Amino acid sequence: MTTNKGVFITFEGIDGSGKSTQTRLLADHLKSLGHEVILTREPGGSTGAEEIRALVLEGDPDRWSAETELLLFTAARRDHMERTILPAIKAGKIVICDRFADSTRMYQGLSRGDLRAKVDQLHDLMIGQEPDLTILIDMDPAVGLARAKGRQTAEERFEDFGQDLQDKMRAGFLELAKHYHDRFRLIDGGRSVDEVAQDISKAVMDHLS
């Protein structure tokens, strides 16, 4: 991010951990302080990537092989980067993104066989961008899954992989946070919305200052 003026913040965590809720609150808070903020999400965040979103999030859990899925998520991310994220960063805005490449490192890299090396190679080849700051909302996978299931949407392909996947993802995200400790901030998501929001706000303000 050395050549850009803006700030790129991503949120990660298991399904139902509160990312969408907290990205919205953070965006509102930063806007109230006068920052220009773009709130976006993956998969999606641009017209083409939102079309790919429906392909990867709806339907049977075994609809795609792990490899095909990795290509689809990466294609969506490339479009999102070109059309939404990079222009906003270059214009000096704060980009808040609900999930990014760390989700691919976990969900495609770990969930079905060990594809992590391919995930990293494809990322280097086609994306090549890491966030400045990553907020990891950590919580009990059973609670996260119950919250996520409570939403009742058609986008349940990953939630339908069940609790084992959530357990694996939680452990994987905690490992990733240790590995990329410079940019990760770990937040305990098992508390009230306001308590979680306060911790996130503090971590982001520390980074901005």
The Cα 155–Cα 118 span in angstroms is 25
- Dmax over CA atoms of the chain, in Å, equals 45
64 binds, among ligand TYD, ligand ADP, none (CB under 5 to 8 A by kind): none
63 binds, among ligand ADP, ligand TYD, none (CB under 5 to 8 A by kind): none
141 binds, among ligand TYD, ligand ADP, none (CB under 5 to 8 A by kind): none
Site string for ligand ADP, 20-59 (x = CB under 6 A): xx--------------------------------------
* 169 in contact with ligand ADP (CB under 6 A): no
Q: Which residue from 197, 177, 130 is spatially nearest to 14, judged by alpha carbons?
A: 177
**Closer to ligand ADP at the Cβ: 6 or 158?**
158
**Closer to ligand ADP at the Cβ: 63 or 151?**
151
Site string for ligand ADP, 108-147 (x = CB under 6 A): ---------------------------------------x
* 66 in contact with ligand TYD (CB under 6 A): no
In contact, 53 and 87? CB cutoff 8 Å: no
CA distances from 99 to 9, 15, 32, 33, 163 (A): 10, 10, 23, 24, 20
Residue 63 gets which letter from DSSP? S
How many other C-beta atoms are found inside a 10 Å radius of the C-beta of residue 93?
Answer: 18
Q: Which residue from 164, 150, 158 is spatially nearest to 60, judged by alpha carbons?
A: 158
Binding site for ligand ADP (CB under 6 A): 13, 15-21, 147-148, 150-151, 192-193, 196
